[in-house]
């Protein structure tokens, strides 16, 4: 296998005292240079690692990392050759340093290393393009569209008529955006589809009647949407994605859905039409949310759940059909006990 090419520029070295400062810690008694980061298993003495999961205790004990962010409860497992920086949230501290090492990895840039408008992009004469906009080859900008300052439009992306895209956004290769208003600092990864028809039909025996979808999609500031996710425009009201929400790859969001602020929606989730999610909702992967529901603020839904009823604020639900997690585990244990009892009876002739 050939060596890995330099997908990201080599980082500038940081002193351990710099790393501690980024994490909000006092400078340690010893200070030396750290060149980059690495996983516990392969990190070298000039690299930084982190550990916040008990599944990796053995990796922590055997690491060669020069420095490691670690929670206090695991710090006794650090080898003598590794300097431990004790923090409440090792992953958060590690992420801050990682951003310092590799700032260009925070947001996708032009695949062509460009900072201007490609001669092969197709831009309608009525479109408005602000300063510092990058448009890669093959992209299409439709009539009366507006692209904000500092935004990058990837190769072969299509921005439809009258679409509004804010400042410092990243629109990945092959993305399509129609019937949409977007805020600032939004990331759409490759293949995202936003603003297409919602799935609306009058179901009838003589053939299904298509219902015109006349709403839009509103995406607020600092939203990130993963590759190949689809967000349908509203039927008679707008589909809304709230500020700071992060959506994984391969998620389907149907027409009229309203998602609150700072939600997390993990891959292969589907949210049916006209459902509303409050703020800070977390939906585990491969979950299905039925239509016309209200999911309250701070709700957590376990992976592979099927939500068919409203969920009150702050609750944790799981299973299919989903129910409060305490009920889910109680029923699971009951079924497990019944299965064990049945097996016992079968082995003992029904006694």
* pLDDT digit string, tens, across residues 57-114: 999 999 999 999 999 999 999 999 999 999 999 999 999 999 999 999 998 889 888 8
pLDDT at 330: 82
* pLDDT digit string, tens, across residues 259-295: 999 999 999 999 999 999 999 999 999 999 999 999 9
Residue 208 bears catalytic tag: no
- Average pLDDT for the chain: 96
pLDDT at 119: 96
pLDDT at 331: 79
CA 262 to each of CA 134, 259, 281, 332, 340: distance values in angstroms, whole numbers, following the listed order: 28, 9, 7, 31, 43
Q: Exactly one of 255, 286, 292, 309 is catalytic; name it.
A: 255
- Taking domain 122-326, whether its CATH number is 2.160.10.10 is answered by yes
What percent of the chain is modeled with pLDDT above 70? Answer: 99
3-state secondary structure of 175: coil
CA 96 to CA 90: how far, in whole Å? Answer: 10
**Cβ(156)–Cβ(174) under 8 Å?**
yes
For the chain, the structural domain boundaries read: 14-106, 122-326
pLDDT > 60? residue 154? yes
3-state secondary structure of 123: strand
Give per-residue burial for 269-301: e unless 16+ CB within 10 Å, then b: bbbbbbbbbbbbbbbbbebbbbeebebbebbbb
pLDDT at 35: 97
pLDDT at 310: 99
pLDDT at 348: 77
Q: pTM of the entire structure?
A: 0.93
Sign of CA dihedral 306, 312, 317, 322: negative
- Taking domain 14-106, whether its CATH number is 3.40.1390.10 is answered by yes
């Amino acid at each position: 296998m050939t060596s890995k090419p330099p997908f990201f520029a080599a980082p500038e070295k940081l002193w351990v005292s710099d790393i501690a400062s980024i994490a909000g810690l006092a400078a340690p008694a010893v200070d030396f240079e750290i060149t980059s980061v690495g996983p516990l298993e392969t990190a070298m003495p000039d690299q930084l690692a982190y550990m916040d999961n008990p599944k990796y205790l053995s990796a922590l004990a055997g690491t060669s990392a020069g420095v490691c962010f670690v929670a206090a409860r695991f710090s006794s497992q650090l080898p003598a050759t590794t300097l431990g920086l004790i923090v409440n949230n090792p992953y958060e501290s590690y992420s801050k340093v990682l951003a310092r090492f590799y700032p260009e990895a925070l947001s996708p840039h032009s695949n062509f290393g460009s900072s201007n408008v490609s001669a092969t992009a197709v831009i309608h004469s009525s479109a408005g393009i602000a300063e510092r906009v990058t448009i890669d080859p093959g992209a299409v900008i439709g009539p009366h569209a507006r692209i904000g300052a500092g935004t990058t439009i990837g190769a072969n992306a299509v921005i439809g008529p009258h679409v509004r895209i804010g400042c410092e956004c990243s629109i990945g290769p092959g993305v399509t955006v129609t019937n949409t208003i977007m805020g600032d600092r939004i990331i759409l990864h490759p293949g995202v589809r936003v603003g297409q028809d919602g799935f609306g039909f009058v179901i009838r025996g003589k053939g299904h009647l298509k219902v015109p979808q006349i709403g839009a999609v509103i995406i607020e500031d600092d939203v990130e949407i993963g590759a190949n996710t689809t967000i349908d425009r509203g039927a008679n009201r707008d589909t809304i994605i709230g500020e700071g929400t992060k959506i994984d790859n391969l998620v389907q969001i149907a027409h009229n859905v309203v998602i609150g602020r700072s939600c997390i929606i993990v891959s292969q989730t589907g949210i049916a039409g006209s459902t509303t999610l409050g703020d800070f909702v977390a939906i585990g992967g491969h979950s299905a949310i039925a239509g016309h529901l209200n999911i309250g603020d701070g709700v957590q839904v376990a992976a592979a759940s099927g939500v068919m009823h409203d969920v009150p604020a702050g609750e944790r639900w799981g299973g299919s059909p989903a129910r409060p997690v305490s009920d889910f585990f109680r029923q699971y244990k009951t079924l497990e006990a019944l299965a064990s009892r049945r097996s016992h009876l079968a082995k003992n002739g029904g006694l």
